[in-house]
Amino acid sequence: MQKKIRLYIFSILIFSIFIIFTLFYIKSFREELTIINNTVHSTLFPKNNFKSTYNAKLKFEDRPISKINGVILNILDENNIINVPMLLKSQRYYIPLKFICNKLNYTLDSSSNEILLYNDNNKISLTKNSYIKNSQAGSLRGNLIDANGTKYISISDIEQIFNLIAVFDFKKNSISLLDSNVNAPESSSILYSNKIALIRLEDFGCGDSNTIDTNQTKVKCMADLLYSEGIKFHLSWVPRFKSPEENFDNDLLTNDNITNVGFVNLLDYLINKGGEIGLHGYTHQHDNEKSGFGEEMSKDINNTVPETKAIIENGIETASALNIPISYYESPHYRETELQRKTIEEYFQFIYEPFDSSKDYIYKSDEYHLFVPTPLGYVHDSDPSSIIEGINNSNPNLLHSFYYHPFVELKHIDFNIKDNKLNVTFDESSPLQQIVKSLKSNDYKTVHIDEFINK
């Protein structure tokens, strides 16, 4: 009897030590996850020398350039519809740099190695792939094109450097460049914080609602909200949207049309407003399933190394050809096997999902890879209450990370074009608005996943 009691006590002791160790491990990771002087710190972050095993074969700089006819461009004047010379490259429209400068009253000086654009209020310096405006440097999304001695600039880059927003009308085959009403976020005065949050916009591909021009503009309005509040976010992108039952297969590398140009312009806009993009599979489906709903990696689907590599590499090739930077991978529905997971690790350092179902916190699988889950879940049925409840929970052992499907927000946004501006009505009780208010009232700092690095 005494032997059984001793064995029972010993078992309880071992179990207690295990629980304490586990809690200590989780707690130590969370306590060390801090922002100091706008830099995220933790001794448990992976090393900064990860190298992917793969180099994309399709390069943006090598993509073909073609002339485009029939697209109407409207610049800051509803009654002044202009048909200008236009080029297409990698689902981006380009117009002559001199033309847009003249229209916006900028002087263009290209007499030196750098190109200078200036007026009484601004000075902009351009190279082929970068810009400096008001001492702020950035990368051009489309780069400059030199065609027969004429320099062309993409609509995406015009938006960014001239403070405009492009609104597409697919039926009229037109683009309106309008004044942007978005204010730049105030510089953060917080020097130290351990209240960190991560936001991910989910299942984002050029299909369904994202093929509608007004919806693409509404997503820009969502980005404007996040940007103006200084909120960083992520976007899990499905590069090729398929719906076999509807005979729909939208490959952005082969289907040149204004809808896809609008979508890539939207990706550029999201990047410029603080978004960071990751791959969410390639088609997020198989057989006759629809993208976003179907499986793509599991124990029964694409369960060999060659099949898994093909999915990953097809996504990387699309991103490279379109000049879309990607920083993480998220497997569709988190269904990947250990073999598929290890294959993903050959290509990506950051995997935006749990390492496994038992580890609902940040997990470093080795010296180089980090798995970041979303313990707060996602917005169900347009009700953000569970997310807000999680944000309000100040438990330091809880990673305040969640995701949201952008199409849920669309019905809460309306807009019109008047006086050369995009006039937006954004319901303040919408799920995203409520989430933003909760993040701000609780003094959270949002971060990007690739900031979790041992610098």
In a 13 Å sphere around the CA of 335, the CA atoms on its Cβ side amount to 17
Whole-angstrom Cα distance, residue 304 to residue 326? Answer: 24
Dihedral of alpha carbons 32, 35, 41, 44, sign: positive
**CATH number belonging to the domain at 63-179, selected among 3.20.20.70, 3.30.200.20, 2.102.10.10, 3.30.457.10:** 3.30.457.10
Per-residue pLDDT, 143: 97
Dihedral of alpha carbons 68, 176, 227, 371, sign: negative
- Please classify residue 418 by burial: count the beta carbons closer than 10 Å to its beta carbon, then call 0-12 exposed, 13-18 middle and 19+ buried: exposed
Residue 417, beta-bridge partner list: 422
Whole-angstrom Cα distance, residue 75 to residue 164? Answer: 10
Whole-angstrom Cα distance, residue 299 to residue 312? Answer: 17
Of the chain, the end-to-end C-alpha distance in Å amounts to 57
Strand order in 123-126's β-sheet? 107-109, 115-118, 123-126, 130-133, 136-139
**CATH number belonging to the domain at 39-54+193-451, selected among 3.20.20.370, 3.20.20.140, 3.40.50.2000, 3.30.70.3450:** 3.20.20.370
Helix or strand run (H / E) with residue 351:
strand 350-351
Of how many residues is the chain composed? 455
| 115-118 vs 363-364, strand pairing mode | unpaired
Q: Which amino acid is at 284?
A: H
Whole-angstrom Cα distance, residue 56 to residue 272? Answer: 23
Block means of pLDDT (10 residues each) for the chain, 455 residues, are 52 47 40 80 87 96 97 89 94 97 94 88 94 93 96 98 97 95 79 90 98 98 97 98 97 98 98 98 97 96 97 98 98 96 97 87 92 95 96 90 98 94 96 98 96 88
Per-residue pLDDT, 31: 43
Could you tell me the maximum CA-CA distance found in the chain, to the nearest angstrom?
96
Helix crossing, 338-347 with 305-322: angle to 10°? Answer: 30
Whole-angstrom Cα distance, residue 328 to residue 235? Answer: 10
Per-residue pLDDT, 146: 96
Per-residue pLDDT, 1: 52
Tokens of 192: 């130290």
Q: Which amino acid is at 382?
A: S
For the beta carbon of residue 126, count every other beta carbon within 10 angstroms.
22
Whole-angstrom Cα distance, residue 258 to residue 359? Answer: 43
Per-residue pLDDT, 28: 36
Q: What is the DSSP letter of 78?
A: T
Per-residue pLDDT, 7: 53
